[in-house]
Amino acid sequence: MAEEEGPTVELRQRRKLKSSENKESAKEEKICDTPMPERAPKHVLFQRFAKIFIGCLAAVTSGMMYALYLSAYHERKFWFSNRQELEREITFQGDSAIYYSYYKDMLKAPSFERGVYELTHNNKTVSLKTINAVQQMSLYPELIASVLYQATGSNEIIEPVYFYIGIVFGLQGIYVTALFVTSWLMSGTWLAGMLTVAWFIINRVDTTRIEYSIPLRENWALPYFACQIAALTGYLKSNLNTYGERFCYLLMSASTYTFMMMWEYSHYLLFLQAISLFLLDSFSLEQSEKLNVKKGTFIAKIMKVINFYLVCTLTVTLNIIMKMFVPHKENGHMLKFLEVKFGLNMTKNFTMNWLLCQESLQAPSQDFFLRLTQSSLLPFYVLVLIICFLSMMQVIFRRINGKSLKETITLEDGRIGGRPEIIYHVIHTILLGSLAMVIEGLKYLWTPYVCMLAAFGVCSPELWMTLFKWLRLRTVHPVLLALILSMAVPTIIGLSLWKEFFPRLMTELMELQEFYDPDTVELMTWIKRQAPVAAVFAGSPQLMGAIKLCTGWMVTSLPLYNDDDLLKRNENVYQIYSKRSAEDIYKILTSYKANYLIVEDAICNEVGTMRGCRVKDLLDIANGHVVCEEGDKLTYSKYGRFCHEVKINYSPYVNYFTRVYWNRSYFVYKINTVISFQS
């Protein structure tokens, strides 16, 4: 049997080898039979080159002009070049002041290594607390800016503040250029990019916060995310060659890494992007070799899914791993906030209610939609989104029903929903838009892509052809009409925008505004001249950020909301505006080693536009001094509001606090170390 079995096995192996040889020869014949693409004529190549050159020139010019516009507008708004350094620094408000103060600290450090060490082991900012400022506040932009400022020799040419804001304005130019390129890639015409930029600038109140707070992390990070989106759009295109795919992949990798480094909340946006790509692949709307999950054995599929998760949600994975070894509660407040925001829980907690009262965390106002409608952006966005979404659903249902679809989509097909890059953007903009309808601050992520998607749609012949296919237009040739509309509609929109909004933009640059805050200037000047170097100041977190920047003195709290300890400090220090006794306030402040207390008249006598959202109202709710719901127990306070009572200068307030400086806006009290009670 063994002797007979040998030849049989050998015969099977020969047959298997022969069949494999036949397959390989068939593949070779198929490759040989495939006609080689004919080389395009020289005039066609010249037209393509001219189109690309003009488009790139327009994209770069748009970005540069926008950056110059921001610089000029900032100068006219703050009269920046004519102010002293202290007055310039006061224009940085809240957390922006903290970011810029660390940039100054890096420039003052004897070496880069020493500067980084002092930031990662910082005990000179918040009293009784050592923080890793680089990690906690994502100070990588400031580290990079300080290195560039010194390495390029700019310290001999330009002042540090101009170099800093110049980098941010330059990044905004890159942001606009990336949106231009994305719309251009999707539509095939750089006219869409021009319209994207026009809508972005006209609606800049809703597309960016660069005018109000320059050093915000999102102003550093979102330009890189826009570059990643542009690279991803090019990568998803079906007609891209191998070299183009490699370039797009490298650009995606570099921009994604930089985006994650610049912004501590980047992983949330990347998670939405991962969901969009996952849905794109689930519906088999992309080439399998690009998202590559459906091929291979079961184990291979599992490994690819794991790899997909690790790549797309890298920061989340690292965060979970770190929490396993270093337990902390830094982001617990975010989950609690979401529970209260969506009505899953109720709370009297001051911090949660204060966050809910912030305008950026409210639902969008009607003015937001009115502004987008007046610039014609919202109507065209809705039109484009509806057409693309319905076409996408049509393609998906055809796939589900087993109908074969052409891999190469032509203009005559009228099937814009079959293009992977379009579908990705439709899914992504729906996800971002859904969040922006709940939290207004997220409109700065959504509105720029509204500009891009709307501009792409009105400039795309395929979108109009898709619409005409549904309408079964027969009176006029649909392809010709689609080409005409893709040029005529954006031209008409552009001319109308130019006529209505261009004069307004020029007027803004001509008007000389003035940022005038003499009370804050006087306060900072007094601190630098009169307060001891080792003094610790207590007050509202926003003011403490300005004190840290303008004077360098230590403070009790900071305007940061990703640390539980700092949030608790903020709530405790805010008690100076509550109905608490002088002794209670004294104990709170001395527990943080505070030497001076600053009471702001604007907070003490605040007249809020939103009911129950004043700081003193929120404190009364948290302390149980008012009834906020039926069944709540009212706790009567026998003390007046501290910020009012301390100004009257009577016992027991004068026993604990001595007024040493005041102006129209601020009252500064020295916290007594030796208490002497007066009758």
The more confident residue out of 336 and 525 is: 525
Q: What is the pLDDT of residue 40?
A: 62
Q: Which long-range contacts (CB under 8 A, 24 or more apart) does 379-382 make?
A: 380/454, 380/457, 380/458, 380/493, 381/450, 381/453, 381/454, 381/457
Q: What is the pLDDT of residue 47?
A: 82
- Sequence-separated (6 or more) residues with CB below 8 Å from residue 10: none
**The pLDDT of residue 151 is above 70:** yes
| DSSP label of 648 | G
Burial grade of 340 (CB within 10 A; 0-12, 13-18, 19 or more): middle
- How many residues comprise the chain? 679
Q: Using a pLDDT cut of 90, give the percent of the chain over it.
A: 55
Query: Across residues 180-187, what is the average pLDDT?
Result: 95
Q: What is the pLDDT of residue 510?
A: 82
Query: Across residues 273-280, what is the average pLDDT?
Result: 88
Could you tell me the pLDDT band of residue 322, with boundaries at 50, 70 and 90?
very low
In this predicted model, what pLDDT tens digit does every residue of 512-547 receive, in sequence order? 776 778 999 999 999 999 999 999 999 999 999 999
Lowest-pLDDT range of 96-100, 436-440, 635-639: 635-639
- Could you tell me if 201 and 69 are in contact, meaning their C-beta atoms sit under 8 angstroms apart? yes
The more confident residue out of 121 and 472 is: 121
Q: What is the pLDDT of residue 331?
A: 53
Q: What is the pLDDT of residue 328?
A: 45
**The pLDDT of residue 308 is above 90:** no
- 486, amino acid identity: S
Burial grade of 101 (CB within 10 A; 0-12, 13-18, 19 or more): buried
**The pLDDT of residue 653 is above 50:** yes
Residue with tokens 């030796």: 674
**The pLDDT of residue 659 is above 70:** yes
- Could you tell me if 558 and 98 are in contact, meaning their C-beta atoms sit under 8 angstroms apart? yes
In this predicted model, what pLDDT tens digit does every residue of 13-49 receive, in sequence order? 444 434 444 444 444 444 444 444 456 677 778 888 8
Nearest residue to 566 via CA among 264, 263, 126: 126
| Cα–Cα dist 140/149, whole Å | 14
Q: What is the pLDDT of residue 9?
A: 39
**The pLDDT of residue 349 is above 80:** yes
Q: What is the pLDDT of residue 609?
A: 64
| Cα–Cα dist 551/537, whole Å | 11
Query: Across residues 568-593, what is the average pLDDT?
Result: 95
Question: Hey, which residues does 659 pair with through a beta bridge?
Answer: 669
Nearest residue to 312 via CA among 248, 246, 232, 432: 232
| Residue 655, both tokens | 């026993």
Q: Select the highest-mean-pLDDT range: 124-128, 305-309, 359-363.
A: 124-128
Could you tell me the pLDDT band of residue 629, with boundaries at 50, 70 and 90?
low
| Strands 666-671 and 596-600, sheet pairing | antiparallel
Q: What is the pLDDT of residue 6?
A: 46
Query: Across residues 446-474, what is the average pLDDT?
Result: 91
Task: Report the greatest alpha carbon distance in the chain.
Answer: 120
In this predicted model, what pLDDT tens digit does every residue of 226-275 receive, in sequence order? 999 999 999 998 878 888 889 999 999 999 999 999 998 898 899 899 88
Q: What is the pLDDT of residue 45?
A: 81
Query: Across residues 319-332, what is the average pLDDT?
Result: 46
Q: What is the pLDDT of residue 24?
A: 45
Q: What is the pLDDT of residue 635?
A: 66
Query: Across residues 315-344, what is the average pLDDT?
Result: 57
How are strands ordered across the β-sheet holding 554-555? 554-555, 536-538, 596-600, 666-671, 657-662
Helix (H) or strand (E) holding 269: helix 266-282
Q: Is 122 helix (H, G, I), strand (E, B) or coil?
A: strand
Q: What is the pLDDT of residue 676?
A: 62
**The pLDDT of residue 651 is above 80:** yes
Q: Using a pLDDT cut of 70, give the percent of the chain over it.
A: 83
Could you tell me the pLDDT band of residue 406, with boundaries at 50, 70 and 90?
low
In this predicted model, what pLDDT tens digit does every residue of 449-461 receive, in sequence order? 999 999 999 999 9
Q: What is the pLDDT of residue 94?
A: 85
Lowest-pLDDT range of 128-142, 316-330, 372-386, 387-401: 316-330
Cα–Cα distances (Å) from 562 to 271, 333, 335, in that order, read: 19, 8, 12
Say what the pTM is.
0.86
| Cα–Cα dist 145/166, whole Å | 10
Lowest-pLDDT range of 229-243, 277-291, 594-608: 277-291
Lowest-pLDDT range of 435-449, 548-562, 580-594, 634-648: 634-648
Q: What is the pLDDT of residue 44?
A: 75
The distance from CA 662 to its chain's CA centroid, rounded to whole angstroms, is: 39
Q: Mean pLDDT of all residues in the chain?
A: 84
**The pLDDT of residue 645 is above 80:** yes
Residue with tokens 């998670």: 271
Q: What is the pLDDT of residue 286?
A: 55
Q: What is the pLDDT of residue 560?
A: 87
Could you tell me the pLDDT band of residue 634, with boundaries at 50, 70 and 90?
low
**The pLDDT of residue 358 is above 60:** yes
Q: What is the pLDDT of residue 407?
A: 65
Q: What is the pLDDT of residue 471?
A: 85
Q: What is the pLDDT of residue 333?
A: 60
**The pLDDT of residue 216 is above 50:** yes
Query: Across residues 331-345, what is the average pLDDT?
Result: 70
| Residue 31, both tokens | 């490759």
